[in-house]
Every structure is written in C-alpha cells, then in structure tokens.
Amino acid sequence: MPELPDVELVRRRLQRGIGGAIITAAHSTDRRVLRPQSPSAFGRALSGRTVREVNRRGKWLRILLDDDARLFSHLGMTGWWVERDRDSPKQRSERARIDVLRNDGRPSSVRYLDSRRFGRLIVAKEDITEWRSLGPDPLVDGIRVQALVDKLGRSRRAVKEALMDQSVLAGVGNILATEALFNARIDPRSRSDALSRAEIGKIARGLDTALRHELDARERAATDDFLDVFSVYGRAGEPCPRCRSPIARVVLGGRTTTFCKKCQIRRGRPAARTKRRKTRRRPAN
DNA sequence: CTCTATGTTTAATT
DNA sequence: GAATTAAACATAGA
C-alpha cells in the first residue's frame, strides 16, 4: 500500500504512537528486512532511547532519537506499521517491534508488518544515502514547476518513467504517476523532453490533485486496507471516466500503466532503439 | 496450476 | 562512460 499518501499516514501514526516516548525494548530477527545489519544492532541502538520525532521524505520514514541516531524505514511493497497493545500477539507478517513508554504514562507498542519483506529497517548515526539522494517531496517541499521543467526536459524516457524517478520527485510511485498523467490528459508514453512547459504545469497540477485525493481518502478510511479510489489505475478495459472509451494497458519501465488513448495526448515517442536479439539470462541459482 | 501486485537494486546489454 | 532493460527479491490473493 505504500506510496506517498500511505507513508504519510503511517508517519502520523508513528508520531502519535511513539513521538516523545521512551523505548523500553526493540526487537527484530528478520535478516532480510534488516539487511545487512545484525538483529542485535537493532535492539541495541533503540533500547533506552527517547524518540524525538518521526519524519518522512518520499517513501522513506526517519525516526530521530535523542542521541542523534536514527531509524530509517522503507515499506517496500507490503510494509506497514501498526500500533498494538504491548501484549498483543505477533502476527505472521510481523518483522519488528518497538515497545515504548509514552510521556502520558501509557505503555504502547508499534509493529512492523511486511509479508513480502521488500521493506527495510536501517539504523544509522547520520542520514543515509538513500535519504539524501531523494528529490523534493511534494508535501514537505511542494511541487515547483520550474524544477520539474528542468528535470523532465532533460530526460528522453517516457514521462511516466521519469516521474517515478525518486530524484525527480520523492514519493511518486506507479499509482500517483498513472493518476497524475490521467488528470493532466497526457499519454504516459510521451517522451519527457518533448513536453511543453504548459504541459509540465498540467502534470504538476494533476499530481497535486491525485495526491490530495488519495491523502484525503486515506485520512477518512476506517481501515488500513488497500483503497481503490483511482480514475484509471487498475481499470484496464473499463470505460474512461471522462469519455467512456476503454482504458488501455501498456508496460513502462516494467510497471503496468493504464491510460485513456482518446483523452490523454501523446507528445513524441521514446527514443528509437536498435532492435535487440532475444536473449535469455539464466537465473542465478 | 497461472498471473498479478502500491518498490528498488542489480546485472546485462546497447 | 551513460542509459536502458529484464530479472531478482518473497509472499499472498484472485
């Protein structure tokens, strides 16, 4: 579930649950999620510390501690944090837990759930490269059209692939990019550097609209379940909500992309590439 | 059984 | 070198 709106919701939840609290215990034994750190380092770095604040940039969360150490959390594809009673049993997908004593005196516990384990937990003394190399965050920094023009105008990739580049705008994933381009009425296969300034302005607006719509839906949702509040994402074959023509499906940058061929305008095509012989790589076994 | 999935990194290829 | 691509990671659900 994690794209920017989901991660922002999780940030607020963590801030409420453990912001200002003393960590009484922290455990994780999952070497996949902790890669490449040792499970003992996780507990050692967190236990006894006080949580100063919980921040977010793009899809990364940062939990700042009183000794200036910090825990970074990326949710991958299926990661999620939940607040539970301290004695609440471990779920199958639980990969880590942090138990705290809040300053209102109430004990609490947050659990990291992640069935596929694409997510990561990283303890560090300073900001990690993955965090520092993120582009501007649409909520934290706002979306500046000129910055987008500078970046998109220099890329020859399909505009949707460029939008999902975390150094262009942090937090834009497959859903947001798909929805933003539908709102902007621009074909996701358009060559990024073929777009006019006005069109990039429309993408910025479309992104802002999609972002607020999803954040709003997340805020009022009663559960953590996947929310289907999208115009075209996941709707291949269904009628376009604007013109009723069937929604098309293509693959860009390895990700399923849906759009309306009728009302999303194409601006140039991706760079011509020489045909390539079909080759098969043997799986690393 | 097959196919798909909200993300990122890595190795291979142009 | 850069840029682009498919595959890999691991699991659940339809």
pLDDT tens-digit map of A223-239: 888 889 999 999 999 99
- The pTM is what? 0.93
Check whether residue A275 has its CB closer than 7 Å to nucleic acid strand C: no
Catalytic sites of A, residue numbers: 2-3, 59, 255
Residue nearest to nucleotide C9 (CA to C1'): A118
Question: Does strand C come within 7 Å of the CB of A102?
Answer: no
Bridge partners (DSSP) of residue A190 are none
Q: Is the CB of A116 under 7 A from strand B?
A: yes
Facing residues of A63 across strands? A54, A71
Which tens digits make up the pLDDT trace of A6-27? 999 999 999 999 999 999 999 9
Provide the pLDDT for residue A21.
Answer: 98
- Assess whether A161 (CB) lies less than 7 A from strand B: no
> Does the pLDDT value for residue A1 go beyond 90?
no
State the pLDDT at residue A226.
86
Round and report the angstrom distance from CA (A73) to C1' (B9): 17
Instruction: Give the nucleotide at minimum CA-to-C1' distance from A161.
Output: C4
Separation in Å, CA A145 to CA A67, A200, A209, A242: 38, 7, 15, 26
Average pLDDT, whole number, for chain A? 92
Strand C proximal residues, A:183-242, Cβ < 7 Å? none
Strand B footprint nucleotides (protein C-beta < 7 Å)? 4-9, 12-14
Give phi and psi for A243, each to the nearest 5: -125, 5
Instruction: Give the closest residue to C6 (Cα–C1′).
Output: A254
Residue A135 DSSP label: -
